[in-house]
Amino acid sequence: MALIKSVRGFTPHYGKKCFFADNATIIGDVVMGDGCSIWFNTVLRGDVNSIRIGDNVNIQDGSVLHTLYQRSTIEIGDNVSIGHNVTVHGATIENDALIGMGSVILDNAVIGEGAIIAAGSVVLSNTKVEPFSIYAGVPAKFVKMSDPEQTQNINKRISSNYQFYAGWYDESPENRSVLDPD
C-alpha cells in the first residue's frame, strides 16, 4: 500500500479512480483530481509547500515532485504525462503537456499547454515554455512548434493509456478502468 502521510497539519486529498503504486509516497499538502496514477517509487512531497494536480495525470516510476518553502508551488493541469525519473521542483505544467523521461523542471518554470519536453532535458528556473512547443537539451531550448490537434490527441491518448494500465493493478470492479488504449 502507498505511503500517504500527513505533515504540518496537511493531509493529501485525491479524487475518484486514482491509482497509487504500493511504494509510491504522497506527503502533506497534495491535492489531485480524478483518474490520476502515481507509479512505483514516485514521491510527491508536499511538506514545504503545495502540490496541485488536475484530472487524468500520470506520474511515472521514480519521479520526484517537491517545492521550495514559501517560494514555489507545483501546479499540474489535466491530462499531463510525467515520464519515468522526472524531477519537478516548484513548477507549473499546463493541460495536455508531456514531460519526457529523466527531465528536470526547476522552480517557477511554466510548461505551456500541450508542450513537449524531450527526454533528458533540463528546464531552468523561470523558463516559460510556449504552448504546443517542443523543447530539448541541457539547458532546454526551443526546437519547434508542434501541431496542436495532433499533440493534444497524442498526449490525451498517453494519459488514457495510463488509466488503463492502472486498472491491471486493481482487482475491485468499482475501480477498474474501462478505458482501452488505442
Separation between Cα atoms, residue 54 and residue 60, nearest integer Å: 15
Residue 101: count other Cβ atoms within 10 Å of its Cβ: 17
SS3 53: strand
Set out the domains of the chain in order of their start, with CATH numbers: 3-167 (2.160.10.10)
CA angle 35, 22, 58 (to 5 degrees): 30
- pLDDT score for 172: 55
Residue pair 88/111 in contact (Cβ under 8 Å)? The answer is no
pLDDT in tens, 63-111: 999 999 999 999 999 999 999 999 999 999 999 999 999 999 999 999 9
Is residue 156 very low, low, confident or very high in pLDDT (cuts 50, 70, 90)?
A: confident
Separation between Cα atoms, residue 63 and residue 123, nearest integer Å: 15
C-alpha pair distances (Å), 66 with each of 87, 96, 143, 167, 172? 8, 21, 27, 27, 31
Separation between Cα atoms, residue 97 and residue 58, nearest integer Å: 11
Mean pLDDT of 20-28: 97
Amino acid (1-letter code) at residue 128: K
C-alpha cell of 172? 475491485
Is residue 178 very low, low, confident or very high in pLDDT (cuts 50, 70, 90)?
A: very low
Looking at residue 175, the DSSP 8-state letter turns out to be: T
pTM (predicted TM-score): 0.92
Write down the mean pLDDT value for the chain: 93
SS3 169: coil
Residue 168: count other Cβ atoms within 10 Å of its Cβ: 10
Residue with the three cell numbers 493509456: 161
Separation between Cα atoms, residue 15 and residue 155, nearest integer Å: 21
